[in-house]
Structure 1
Amino acid sequence: MLKKKTMVVLVLAMVCFVTNVSAGDTIRVNRGMLETAALKPGVNHYLVYIKMYKDKPSSYQHIWTRKVTRTLLNNRPVINIYQSWEDQDSVLHTASSANDAATMEPLRHQFWWKNTGTVDVDFVQKRVRENAKEISQKDTAAATKKRWNAFVTAKDSFCLNWHLDLEIFPLLPFREGVVFEIPFYDPGTTAPLTKAHYTVAGSETLETFDNWKVDCWVLTHTEKGNQEKFWISKRTREVIKMEQLINDKIYRYKLKLDYKG
């Protein structure tokens, strides 16, 4: 017999109602705005998969493991988040992120991809390493130069780590109709600091097979060729589900699995 929380990932019957809201104020997320105390230490797992059109079978199934811990870094309270992404027979990606415990500002972000190697981004020392080699504005290789220039846009500004969106979204000060302008940066990539806009579209109730209901905030994000919708539990402050539509045909899902690793 599965636990009731586990049944959340089996959501097929979706929704009792959606609250309609009018356009609201824009809130620029800044230092100290996130409710970081709500981020609980522990291990979370997500099933991630794709559908080529909504009525097609799922494919590219991955399991994402995300571990949250609270520690000290040079006597500074930090929130560490470790990620491991697995497909059917191997680990594809790992990432370790240290963030200021009060603001969630990134202090260090290290990641590894199976086919490309490692990148280490240090916001305190203001340096980036590719496969253990430090890079700078002197590098001329196109990808390396873009990676460095992207880091320059973020290193001296308040930003949040876009690679940690599933942990950051539940910490926002939600109210219906508000638009959050979030200074997001995915450390170590070639994409620069972005002011991304996410709208609280209302409230929605997810219903499981055993009629257990989860009251959620609905957070949406739209840009060219990409639409995202996140369901965030009001009670437990965690992302329960994400649905993404890419180029009007590819659906991508993230569903939280509730079990201990």
Structure 2
Amino acid sequence: MRASVTRPLLFLALALSAAALPASAAEPYRVTPSDLHLEHLRPAQLSYLVYMHAGPGSGIKRPVLASFSVSRQTVDGTPAWVITHAWEDPDGTVHTARTVHAASDIATLSQDATWMRSGQRMSSHVVPARGEGRAEGEWPEAARQCLEAGFQAMQDGWWMNWHSDLTLLPLLPYEKGGTLRIRLFDVGMPAPLDVDYTVLGERTLAGADGRRYDCWLVETESGNPGGGAFQRFWIDKASRVVVKEEDNFNGQYRSKYLLAVPVSLEFPAPEDGKQG
């Protein structure tokens, strides 16, 4: 989850992700919670460089640093995975989120999120199992209506939280090959949506430190077949981590690259600006 382009506003503004290559003619495989490789989910700190551009050599626009924390906790007596987001651009923090997922099937138990746009703050809070939600701040009216319409739809069966895609999508059973179909939902959508992810093949990326990343190359139209956009993910097989992503929509690209080490300031300067 999206200043950076985050999922709720992006969903309302764009039809993200469409495949440039045809999907397999075979019927997509329906992914259920039992198919997910939850054994690969682990505590982690991840940072991604995210930016927009018009293609190679065009220069980058709207650079964003996206940091994620994944931790195992007990929340209200329930074993859970908690995923937090913090997105920063040159002007400061533009998006934060805290999503609590049930450890048993990564169902969303609750989510709190904030966005800053042009000096205006928007926030949302949802408890999907109860169909409860609220939107606060300066939401555009159309976005608010769509968001509020989805509150009841949150109760309509199991779905994977799209806002946590960089953490949870690698858990899909890509070893099956072909096209995998999974039910997704994010705050800002009117209802859950079936989305297909097609395994195009394998790719190997070489890191500057000599490490090889043997990846699945996965492509999706994000539930909008023929919309003229796509998302492609390079998912490291060994770690089940997205190491690279390329999106194309509205004639522009968005790229995401996993940084070798998470970004954190370990030695902040003294408040008076003087070094000790």
- Is the Cα–Cα contact under 8 Å of residues 128 and 151 in structure 2 kept in the other structure? no
- Shift, 1:209, TM fit: 4.4
Partner of 2:170: 170
User: Aligned ranges for residues 70-89 of structure 1 at < 5 Å?
Assistant: 70-89=72-91
Find out whether 1:238 has 2:241 as its counterpart.
yes
Give the aligned length.
231
Counterpart Cα distance in 1 of 2:33 and 2:56 = 39
User: Aligned ranges for residues 27-46 of structure 1 at < 5 Å?
Assistant: 27-46=29-48
User: Aligned ranges for residues 1-261 of structure 1 at < 5 Å?
Assistant: 23-114=25-116, 115-131=120-136, 143-175=143-175, 177-187=177-187, 189-209=188-208, 211-222=210-221, 223=225, 224-247=227-250, 249-260=251-262, 261=264
Counterpart Cα distance in 2 of 1:208 and 1:70 = 29
Matched position secondary structure for 1:60? strand
- Choose between structure 1 and 2: higher strand proportion: 1
Unaligned runs of 5+ in 2: 1-22, 265-276
- Is the Cα–Cα contact under 8 Å of residues 205 and 216 in structure 1 kept in the other structure? yes
> What amino acid does structure 2 have at the position aligned with 1:126?
G
> What amino acid does structure 2 have at the position aligned with 1:182?
I
Counterpart Cα distance in 1 of 2:145 and 2:213 = 46
After superposition, give the CA deviation of every residue in 1:33-67 in whole Å (9 maximum; x if it has no partner).
21122111021100001112333011111000100
Partner of 2:18: none
TM-score normalized by the length of structure 2: 0.78
- Is the Cα–Cα contact under 8 Å of residues 54 and 250 in structure 1 kept in the other structure? no
Counterpart Cα distance in 2 of 1:124 and 1:184 = 15
Counterpart Cα distance in 1 of 2:27 and 2:189 = 31
Matched position secondary structure for 2:33? coil
Cα separation, partners in 2 of 1:44 and 1:227, compared to 1, 3 Å: same
- Shift, 1:176, TM fit: 5.4
Counterpart Cα distance in 2 of 1:97 and 1:33 = 21
CA RMSD of aligned residues (A): 2.0
- Is the Cα–Cα contact under 8 Å of residues 25 and 177 in structure 1 kept in the other structure? no
Counterpart Cα distance in 1 of 2:209 and 2:200 = 26
- Is the Cα–Cα contact under 8 Å of residues 131 and 154 in structure 2 kept in the other structure? no
- Shift, 1:146, TM fit: 2.3
Partner of 2:268: none
> What amino acid does structure 1 have at the position aligned with 2:182?
I
- Shift, 1:117, TM fit: 1.9
